[in-house]
Every structure is written in structure tokens, then in C-alpha cells.
Amino acid sequence: NAGVTQTPKFQVLKTGQSMTLQCAQDMNHEYMSWYRQDPGMGLRLIHYSVGAGITDQGEVPNGYNVSRSTTEDFPLRLLSAAPSQTSVYFCASSLGGTGDQETQYFGPGTRLLVL
């Protein structure tokens, strides 16, 4: 079991460039989500998905797109990168129920720098 994997680990972009952050999980979790982590702000939810074909916006969705064509994969797209998107991005997955099923499993993160 690899758990939650993310690629790349580190990326430098120029303003206006686009890129996709990859996230995959092999635990057959229905619920997947993307967070960004900024100093002193904890983790903020960008987008989430409760199953294949279903996505919804989180707290800070602007500038990001997602899709969920399979249970395993949940890529995050930056269409036109901005310096304000410099952050560490974490993907997480869970069974999506309540109680113990709410436990989220996190990937190792992608560190993004936008110049």
C-alpha cells in the first residue's frame, strides 16, 4: 500500500504558466481533497471530491480546477499561476463517512514556487 502519493515534490513556475499537481491513492477511498498550507494559516481546503465524477469547491478555490475521473486520481490544475499561489499543497483521502471514517490520510506534499 503506497497510501497517498503526490508528484512533483517541488516545482518552480513563472507567472502565467499552467501546471497540474498529481495525486493518487490506492486505498479505495471515496473522499479526496486538496489543501494549501501557508505560514500561520494552517491548512485551507481548495477543492474536494466525494467520489468519481463529483467535485466541489472548498474555502479557497479561485485559480484552481479539479476533476475526478477515477476513484484513484484527483489532479489539481493551475491554469495561470500567480505568485499568491506559492504554497505547499497537500492531497488527502478518506473513506468519507463519519467518526473513524473521517480520518484523512495525507500525501507528502508539493512545494510550489511561482515567480
Partner 1 sequence: AQSVTQLDSHVSVSEGTPVLLRCNYSSSYSPSLFWYVQHPNKGLQLLLKYTSAATLVKGINGFEAEFKKSETSFHLTKPSAHMSDAAEYFCVVSSRMDTGRRALTFGSGTRLQVQP
Phi, psi (rounded to 5 degrees) for 53: 85, 0
Place of cell 513563472: 14
Contact set for partner 1, span 80-109 (CB under 8 A): 90, 92, 98-100, 102-109
Contact 48, 29 (CB under 8 A): no
Contact 31, 96 (CB under 8 A): yes
Instruction: Convert residues 45-84 into a mask of x (bound to partner 1 by CB under 8 A) and - (unbound).
Output: x---------------------------------------
Contact 75, 23 (CB under 8 A): yes
Q: Is 12 in the site for partner 1 (CB under 8 A)?
A: no
Here the cell at position 106 is: 495525507
Q: Is 2 in the site for partner 1 (CB under 8 A)?
A: no
Count of residues touching partner 1 (by CB under 8 A): 21
Among 41, 79, 113, 115, binds partner 1 (CB under 8 A): 41
Q: Which residues bind partner 1 (CB under 8 A)?
A: 4, 35, 40-45, 90, 92, 98-100, 102-109
